[in-house]
Amino acid sequence: MTTVTLGRPPLERHLRDHRDQGRKALVPYVTAGVTPGWTGLVEALADAGADAIEIGLPYSDPMLEGTTIQEASQRALDQGMTTDRALAAVAELDLNVPLVVMTYSNLIRHRGAGVFCERLASAGVSGLIPVDTPLDEATPLLAAARSHGIETVLIVAPSTPPDRIEAIADQGSGFVYASTVMGTTGERTTLGDQAADLATRVRAATDRPVLMGFGISGPQTAAQAARHADGVIMGAAVMRRVLAGESANEVAGLVREVRTALDAIIEPRWP
């Protein structure tokens, strides 16, 4: 593949296709700039069986991150990573899976939602996860994203009431991001009942793909979550290995293991 940006499929269609084929989606997360070789890591994860990649823009005050992603973010900032540099690097990536950018409101607000979404689009990014922009504040961002062809992925939490789940699923796009816990990002050894419960409620409320994130630490938790959802997002488990100095190939090994676990799930096609 040589020209890349055009080759990256829209997010939701891509995930719906996977769901129709009975394939659970796997979306690993990488903090832009965490290591000098981070773009190579993104490519390695795509080759290892990721269905989309989430790119985190480093931010000085990441209020929803646990210690691992906080450290990754700080390391990236210390090495001079910025939003502009991250997006310039993303534009050069050679990938056949869609990219979703995860970020905090201030990095969007600082440029203005229109300019920010335009830059995402020109870097070949398909989707945006605005972590601390809840639905109530999202109207201008949703409009800007739509006009630049960016899919805005909104998060639901175990505390989200039914009417809000419906509104979030309706106004967001790409997929619905269901948080397995009331808490920050970070690995957990097992998922509580509220994860399955939330996934079931969200699936009942929408036809959009539902992916579960927060606390997915490896094949076991991934399979546990994916039994109730259309896929998983795995962040801290990936970044912990990167921070510990593992090579791109070693980290890709985790993605391969999780891929295998997800492919082993046999689920009756739902009506």
What is the contact surface with another protein in residues (CB under 8 A)? 59-67, 70, 74, 77, 82-84, 104-107, 109-111, 131-137, 154-161, 164, 168, 179, 181-184
Counting Cα atoms < 13 Å in the Cβ hemisphere of 65 gives 26
Q: Is position 187 annotated as part of the catalytic site?
A: no
Annotation marks residue 12 as catalytic: no
Residue 42 CB, shortest distance to another protein, in Å, is 21
Q: Which SS3 state, helix, strand or coil, does residue 77 take?
A: helix
Q: Please identify, using beta-carbon distances, which residue of 52 and 153 lies nearer to another protein.
A: 153
d(CA 235, CA 239): 6
Interacting residues of 195 by C-beta distance below 8 A, sequence separation 6+: 158, 178, 180, 181, 212, 215, 224, 225, 228
**Cβ pair 243, 221 in contact under 8 A:** no
Among residues 97 and 157, whose Cβ is nearest to another protein? 157
133/206 with CB nearer another protein: 133
Give the Cα separation of 57 and 105 in Å (integer). Answer: 11
Cβ contacts of 135 within 8 Å, gap of 6 or more: 154, 164, 167, 168, 171
CB of 247 within 8 A of CB of 54? no
Residue 136 beta carbon to another protein: minimum distance, rounded to whole angstroms? 6
Q: At its nearest, how many Å lie between another protein and the CB of residue 159? A: 5
Q: In 10 A of CB 248, how many CB atoms?
A: 20
Q: Pick the closer one to another protein by CB: 17 or 84.
A: 84
Q: How far is the CB of 75 from another protein (least distance, A)?
A: 12
Catalytic one of 12, 43, 65, 92: 65
Locate the DSSP E strands across 17-154.
25-31, 53-56, 99-103, 127-130, 151-152
Catalytic residue among 12, 43, 54, 166: 54
Closest approach of another protein to the CB of residue 104, in Å: 8
Q: Active-site residues: which are they?
A: 54, 65
